[in-house]
Amino acid sequence: MMTSFFDQFASPSFLGIPLIAVAIALPWIMFPTPPSRWLNNRLITLQTWFINRFTNQLLLPLNTGGHKWALLFASLMVFLITINMLGLLPYTFTPTTQLSLNMGFAVPLWLATVIIGMPKQPTVALGHLLPEGTPVPLIPVLIIIETISLFIRPLALGVRLSANLTAGHLLIQLIATAVFVLLPMMPTVAILTAAVLFLLTLLEVAVAMIQAYVFVLLLSLYLQENV
């Protein structure tokens, strides 16, 4: 029984072909394309307002050089939110529960922020490895620790997103299984458990949006250190 709980995280396949590509491409198909008219419908207006507000808030602490990343950050944010939200629907697959996919986003983007900062301001980029006022005997140790923490950043990005979504999906499935088991024996307890399940689902909707925002926000903070 316990092994079946993790079957939802296995990549589905049809005729031996993994369907994760379809799950990744689906969010881009669902979003409407803004028309050339002056007046848009409510959905496109709301979509444009959300992207503009998010971009302004995210790029506020960055200088002009970091504003070139606006399109990339906004696209990544919308992509992650849509995938996370679609994964909460029944009989769906959440690609962001796969650590390989999250690391595929985290490592190249983190590496790009580091590569951008090294040629432009190498002193500032390398200065993060050694805090000011460090005693001389601790300099080698702190350089090693800061270097390790620097390379752990993309791993932390990917693991954070995968772990939060995986834990939420497992908890929802456990409580839903408890509701079906308790319903014939103790209907009152089953109804109370179903209410808890509803509240947990609302919490997971918030977690799906917050984790996508945190992922992009941390990337913008890494960029802020290097531009």
Q: Where are the domains of the chain?
A: 21-226
The pLDDT confidence band at residue 2, using thresholds 50, 70 and 90, is: very low
What is the per-residue pLDDT for 115? 86
- d(C-alpha 69, C-alpha 55), whole Å: 10
Q: What value does the mean pLDDT of the chain take?
A: 81
Task: Count CA atoms closer than 13 A to 57's CA, side-chain side.
Answer: 12
CA 23 to chain centre: 15
Answer yes or no: is pLDDT of 165 > 60. Answer: yes
Residues 35-72: pLDDT tens digits?
677 666 777 778 788 888 888 888 887 777 778 888 88
What is the per-residue pLDDT for 114? 85
Which range of 33-37, 117-121, 184-188 scores highest in mean pLDDT? It is: 184-188
53-75 burial code (b ≥16 CB/10 A, e <16): ebbeebbeebeeebeebbeebbe
Backbone angles phi, psi at 8, to 5 degrees: -70, -20
The pLDDT confidence band at residue 195, using thresholds 50, 70 and 90, is: very high
The pLDDT confidence band at residue 150, using thresholds 50, 70 and 90, is: confident
- DSSP letter assigned to residue 38: S
Is there a contact between 99 and 158 (Cβ–Cβ < 8 Å)? yes
Residue bearing the bigger pLDDT, 226 or 212: 212
Tell me the average pLDDT across 90-116.
86
Which CA distances in Å does 114 have to 126, 131, 154, 225, 227? 10, 18, 11, 9, 9
- d(C-alpha 154, C-alpha 108), whole Å: 9
The pLDDT confidence band at residue 1, using thresholds 50, 70 and 90, is: very low
